[in-house]
Amino acid sequence: MTIAALGKEWLADQAAARLQKPVTLMAFGTGTPSATALGSEISGSRRTVTPSSSGAVSTYKAHLDVEDQITANITEVGLFNNSNVMVASQSFAAVVKTANEPFYVTWNFIF
């Protein structure tokens, strides 16, 4: 996982309970992320995250539904704050997302 410089600031804000720029979106892509953006974000793939926390773990969940009709070889995801700044990204081996199946991501930050 790569955490961008602004992502580190966001994490510090979260740890200090200031919540000035909360993570609100997750996006999916088919490339390799840079420090500031996904390499090839799938058009229409940004989803509102469902945040939760338990102890020292902050969790963010999002998914692409069957109704989205997105077919792609997904290789990257990114978390974005309420200013649309990418605060973290992750790349991985291609996961085939077909139009008739959902794709779920759960992201945990352990402090």
Lowest mean pLDDT across 14-18, 23-27, 30-34, 64-68: 14-18
Q: Considering only residues 20 and 25, tell me which one the structure prediction assigns the higher pLDDT.
A: 25
Q: What is the pLDDT of residue 98?
A: 94
pLDDT tens profile 33-86: 999 999 999 999 999 998 877 766 788 899 999 988 899 999 999 999 888 999
| Token pair belonging to 7 | 């992502």
Neighbours of 104 (CB within 10 A): 9
Burial-class residue 93 by CB neighbours within 10 Å (0-12, 13-18, 19+).
Answer: exposed
The CA-atom distances, in angstroms, between 87 and each of 34, 36, 78 are 11, 8, 8
